[in-house]
Amino acid sequence: MSATGDDDRDEGRSPENGRDAVSPTGATPGTPAAGDGSGEGNEDEVNPAETEQFEEFREDLDAVERRIAGEIDPGVRAMVVAGAVFVLLLSLVLPHTGGARGFDVLLGSEAATAEHIGLPSRIFVWFVLIFGIGFSLLALMTRRWVLAWVAVAGSAIASAFGVFSIWHRQTPGLNNYVGAGPGLGLVVGTLAVMVLTFHWVKVVWSRTAVQLAAEEQRRIAAAREEERQRRERFGKD
């Protein structure tokens, strides 16, 4: 074979030809070498900076979720509650029994003394004022779940004392004293506080169901996050 043919074959295998040339690392040209960082990164690799940023936002999201979970949304029941509160205010102006009005029972005026107002009536009007009116208005304005629960508890007790007060006004007292029977304010106030209690129970109970569901979701998310961190820590897929 001539020398000219050998030179042509040597020239075809030269690095300038580029077809059979091999890089010093053993890889062909144009192919990223292992560990040089020029290839695609691992898609499952978590960036620590992004994780830290997510944790910061997660704390804010948890705070917002807790705030929302502590609120109520009475919806159309808010109008019913407001109407019941107005009726309770009206009942304090109406006659409680005989010539004593609800405000007379609250203040312990001479009219209340003359009618021999007993302890059940006094407890009833005070519970109506504090819980039926006061805490109900606070719960409506602030929409706080805790205040709604306080309004429920106080209104329920007021309902019981309202019925007891009506029975007490129909029962002879000391020395067989028979006073005036229950007045319009006492009867209306008892019915209004019962309606108020019923609707507050519906509001707080529905909110309790929502909170329980939200807590369950948080527990599931926390368990998933713990499992993910455990897999990353031990290098499992």
- CA pseudo-torsion sign 190, 194, 195, 197: positive
Determine the Cα–Cα distance for residues 6 and 154; give it in Å rounded to an integer: 108
- pTM (2 decimals)? 0.62
What tens digit of pLDDT does each residue of 31-68 get?
A: 444 444 444 444 444 455 545 555 555 565 565 556 55
Determine the Cα–Cα distance for residues 198 and 132; give it in Å rounded to an integer: 12
* Residues in Cβ contact with 129 at an 8 Å cutoff, skipping those fewer than 6 apart: 92, 106
Among 109-113, 134-138, 226-230, whose mean pLDDT is lowest? 226-230
| Residue extents of the structural domains in the chain | 77-201
